[in-house]
Structure 1
Amino acid sequence: MKEGVGGKMRLILSGAAPLSPSVEIVTCAHVLQGYEYYKREDLIKEVLVDGWFHTGDIGEWQPDGSMKIIDRKKNMFKLSQGEYVSVENLETIFSLVPSIDSIWVYGNSFESFLVAVVNPNKESLEQWAVENGVSGDFSTICENPKTNAYILGELLRIAKEKKLTGFEIVKAVHIDAVPFDMERDLLTPTFKKKRAQFLKYYQSVVNGMYKSK
């Protein structure tokens, strides 16, 4: 790989996302992690406090004295009973369900359980509908209470399979036939979820799920 980039590379700057350790090894170059808000003094002052740079990452000390980044602070929240939830980890697990294309999981410190909005897999869900006597077009299938119960059951199944704890189990779900998209400002250009925008867009849905339990 070193020769593939010219053979003279001595320094690599990495930013915005984790870099695989293998990249540093095979290039034989020194790797620096870059953090900088270009021409944004307001943001720089916000993250530089008393000489310390607050990255927003959550770290875990390793036996050899090094620190491993294990999560992002903004992607964790605390439920009313005091338990912390790593939302991206849960979304990765729940996305293993074949009938789910994408999922947004939500909770807050005023509630004791999680709720979610799901984009179902069209082909998988339509096949399930045929086998279970649920008629109508895709949108109608998504709105059917039997479909909701099925998706919720699938989330519970994978939660048990992956040995999730009780507070990590989704207790209510809303099925949206329209995929999460940038047009509704739900995703960044790199397809990351804009969590604050998700809550704003689905606020009434979230309120309804909590009231139903």
Structure 2
Amino acid sequence: MKRNQYNIRFCCLCSGLTETLGPSTVGYPDDMSLVGTAGVAATFTELRLEEVPEMGYDPLGVPSRGEILIRGSTVFTGYYKNPELTNEVMVDGWFHTGDIGEMTPDGILKVIDRKKNIFKLSQGEYVAVEYLEKVYVFPPIIEDIWVYGDSYKSMLVAVVNPHEENTMKWAGSNGYKGSFSEICKSEGLKEHVLKELAAAAQKNKLRGFEYIKGVVLDPVPFDIERDLVTATMKKRRNYMLKYYQPEIDKVYKTLEGQRAANKAK
């Protein structure tokens, strides 16, 4: 007799942390309205959003956005022998996750940003870098992007990994010849990438200081070998800054020269 053995796996949408001892939100995979979300509050869990004014997130706004706070019987009581950190994240029984969420009128949660990945420019504007990277990665010419802002400057710059196939198509259509690496050195491609980034910013209604003003093009994807990303492909921003600092300094110097020239006119 022939026997067939099947492995059947079930999955569901959810989000949670070690501090919450498992999922704090859940959803059902056959409910298409939950696709792209973290689901709704799990049993014995309460969720609320807290205002993050420096990032412009307001739970009373439309849509409702803010830092995700969790309370319930599954939430931990504190970090072992670390009352300082415990007091930072636990306030009046609510655990502050550090994640930024968006809540729909139906109580469905989306995780859209990370509170801790922000920086401030010279004129006092706070920049939510992960959100911007999600916006700026959409143009077909871009494979990946790292957005950076010097706290002593008023402009954002970025290191871009161009999409090789789409870059070569663009090059062929615009009279550029050479290898992918050679084309990435061209001023024409830089100008094209900046135009695509500006179009993405305009489409997503970004504020003026959130526009990318200068770019460095790197044909080599961000990789573990250069310590630019973790094993799970999360950007190691401090290492990226150290690696690209000389090129970023050149971009800022060029931008400042252009600004000075424009003022002199």
TM-score (norm 1): 0.77
Alignment length (residue pairs) = 198
1:47 to 2:85 alignment: yes
Q: C-alpha displacement at 1:48, in angstroms?
A: 2.7
1:21 aligns to what? 26
Question: Greater share of strand residues, 1 or 2?
Answer: 2
Distance in 1, Cα, partners of 2:195 & 2:15: 45
C-alpha deviations, 1:123-172, integer Å up to 9, x for none? 00000001101111000000011111111111111111111110010000
Corresponding residue SS for 1:185: coil
1:150 aligns to what? 192
Structure 2 residue runs without a partner (length 5+): 1-8, 29-37, 46-73, 256-265
Identity %: 41
Contact 1:14 1:33 in 2 (8 A): no
1:57 to 2:98 alignment: yes
Q: C-alpha displacement at 1:109, in angstroms?
A: 2.0
Structure 1 residue runs without a partner (length 5+): 6-11
Larger RCO (CA within 8 A; separation ≥ 6): 1
Distance in 2, Cα, partners of 1:107 & 1:78: 8
1:86 to 2:124 alignment: no
Distance in 2, Cα, partners of 1:197 & 1:34: 32
1:102 aligns to what? 144
Q: How does 1:91-130 map to 2 (within 5 A)?
A: 91-130=133-172
Contact 1:186 1:194 in 2 (8 A): yes
Contact 1:13 1:34 in 2 (8 A): no
Q: Does the C-alpha gap of structure 1 residues 20 and 186 become closer, same or farther in structure 2, counting only changes over 3 Å?
A: farther
TM-score (norm 2): 0.63
Q: C-alpha displacement at 1:49, in angstroms?
A: 3.7
Corresponding residue SS for 2:143: strand
1:180 aligns to what? 222
In structure 1, what residue type is equivalent to 2:26? P
Q: C-alpha displacement at 1:14, in angstroms?
A: 3.5
C-alpha deviations, 1:167-197, integer Å up to 9, x for none? 0100000100000011111111111111111
Q: Does the C-alpha gap of structure 1 residues 173 and 182 become closer, same or farther in structure 2, counting only changes over 3 Å?
A: same
Which structure: larger Rg? 2
Corresponding residue SS for 2:127: strand
RMSD, matched Cα: 3.7
